[in-house]
Structure 1
Amino acid sequence: MSANDFDFLHGRWRVANRKIADIAGRGTDWVEFETSAEARPLLGGAAIIDSVFAEDWEGMTLRQYDPAADVWRIWWASTRAPGKLDPPLEGRFTDGHGVFLGDDEVGGHAVKVRFDWTVGEEPLWQQQFSYDGGETWEQNWVMRFTRA
């Protein structure tokens, strides 16, 4: 693990999204849509920021490596929740797979959040929620990245 773990994400991307239409309501209907994304390093490579552009919203992610704790922290914000920065998820990469965990509130319910990153030529990001303290996980968003 190092400050270079997210180097694979630098650049411009086309992103195929598959997402539960109503995550907050724990819906079961999936929607598919495409977004574009651009990621760039900051702070000498110890941080990375990206912007995600959809048809009707924009999001941004800040990832920062903490060498003392040997973890990455990930924060998310979007135009769908103006003025709100989601609580950070923490985690690390092992053998090209990153797992990041945190706590949040979705639809008025406490939820554990999990991001899974699979590194490769076409990186894969998956989000899961747990409403039972991490006993079970429900996948609700998948993003497949292709170089633009």
Structure 2
Amino acid sequence: MSANDFDFFHGRWRVANRKIADIPGRGTEWIEFDADAECRPILGGTGNVDSLHADGWEGMTLRQYDPQRQVWRIWWASTRAPGHLDPPLEGRFTGGHGVFFGDDVVGGHEVKLRFDWTPGDEPVWQQQFSYDGGETWETNWIMRFTRVP
């Protein structure tokens, strides 16, 4: 684990999204849509920022590495919630797999969040929610990335 953990993600991507349409834990209809993303390093390489553009909305992720604690923190914001920056998730890469946890309120319900990152030539990101304090997890968003030359 290091400030270079997300270097695989720098660049431009085409993103295949599969997401539960309603509030996770309360809906079962999956929707699929494409998006474009771009990630670049910031802060001398100890962080990165990416933007995601889908039909009708835009999202942004800020990631920053804390070398003292050897963890990453991840923040998300989108045009679907103007003026709001989600609370950070925190975690690390171990054995080539990144796992990050945080807490939030979604649709009026307290939830624990989990992000899973699988790096590689075609990285995969998954989001999971837990409504029972982390006993069980429900995957509600999967992104598959294909590099754009």
Judge same fold: TM > 0.5, yes or no: yes
TM-score (norm 1): 0.98
Percent pairwise identity: 78
Structure 1 pair 35/20, CA: closer, same or farther in 2 (3 Å)? Answer: same
Give runs of aligned pairs for residues 71-82 of structure 1, distance below 5 A: 71-82=71-82
1:2 equivalent in alignment to 2:2: yes
Residue correspondence of structure 1 range 1-148 to structure 2 within 5 A: 1-23=1-23, 26-148=26-148
1:97 and 1:117 in contact (8 A); partners too: yes
Q: 1:8 aligns to what SS in structure 2?
A: helix
Secondary structure of the corresponding residue to residue 50 of structure 2: strand
Q: CA deviation at 1:95?
A: 1.4
Task: Tell me the distance in 2 between the aligned counterparts of 1:37 and 1:101.
Answer: 23
Unaligned segments of structure 1, at least 5 residues = none
Moved over 3 A (4+): none
Asked if the contact 2:24–2:140 (Cα under 8 Å) also holds between the matched residues in 1, the reply is no
Matched residues, number: 148
Q: Distance in 2 between matches of 1:130 and 1:92?
A: 19
Amino acid at match of 2:64: Q
Q: State the Cα distance separating 1:24 from its structure 2 match.
A: 5.3
Displacement of 1:52 in angstroms is 0.1
- Output the amino acid matched with 1:113: L
- CA contact 1:24–1:107 (8 Å) conserved in 2: no
Gaps of 5+ in 2: none
Q: Distance in 2 between matches of 1:24 and 1:2?
A: 32
Deviation for aligned residue 1:23? 2.4
